[in-house]
Amino acid sequence: MHGADDLDDDAIRRLLLDTRRIAMVGASNKPERPSNGVLAMLVRHGYEVIPVNPGLAGQAIHGRTVVATLEDAAPLDMVDLFRSLDQIEPAMDDAIRLGARSIWMQLGLVHERAAAKARAAGLVVVMDRCPKIEISRLGIPPARSGGA
């Protein structure tokens, strides 16, 4: 096991293989920001990534049009959160309400109360991990279908 969640490598692998559509909350168009590099890698791996950032809505990041809200990104498989800790719970509530199957909190983000609420609603919760790192570490190949 790794980080603050209770997921082993098999669970992370299954989640990454079963996920197709990812809403990235807090996506940035600045190449030096971690969310930008993660978004680029997820797109290269064939995921359908929808960047969510109200300040950039209508622009494109790595060929994906940015939307203003999580609602605009639905339907959702995974919600990948690049937000400050105080913004995790509202985003998690939206993800639950919109029917996401999983929540991914990036490196350094652990919010036990929000995670417990999401788990109770049936979502898989990943905390304090990066999908880019996990995909590389677990040797998950790009999707043959090429995503959206």
Encode pLDDT of 121-146 as tens digits.
999 999 999 999 999 999 998 874 44
What is the structure's pLDDT at 144? Answer: 46
- CA pair distance 113, 133, nearest whole angstrom: 25
Residue 3 is assigned to a structural domain of this protein? no
Nearest to 125 by CA among 24, 42, 3: 3
Residues near 148 by beta carbon (within 8 Å), at least 6 away in sequence = 21, 48
Q: Is residue 85 part of a domain?
A: yes
For residue 114, what are the domain limits? 9-137
Angle, vertex CA 12, rays to CA 40 and CA 80, nearest 5? 45
Average pLDDT over residues 31-42: 96
Res. 1: pLDDT tops 50: no
Range with the poorest average pLDDT among 1-10, 73-82, 94-103: 1-10
Residue 120, in any domain of the structure: yes
Token pair recorded at residue 132: 């880019």
Domain count, the chain: 1
Q: What is the mean pLDDT of residues 86-91?
A: 93
Question: Domain with 78 in it: what CATH number?
Answer: 3.40.50.720
**23: exposed, middle or buried (Cβ count in 10 Å: 0-12, 13-18, 19+):** buried
Q: Residue 34, preceding bond cis, omega within 30 degrees?
A: no
* pLDDT score at 3: 55
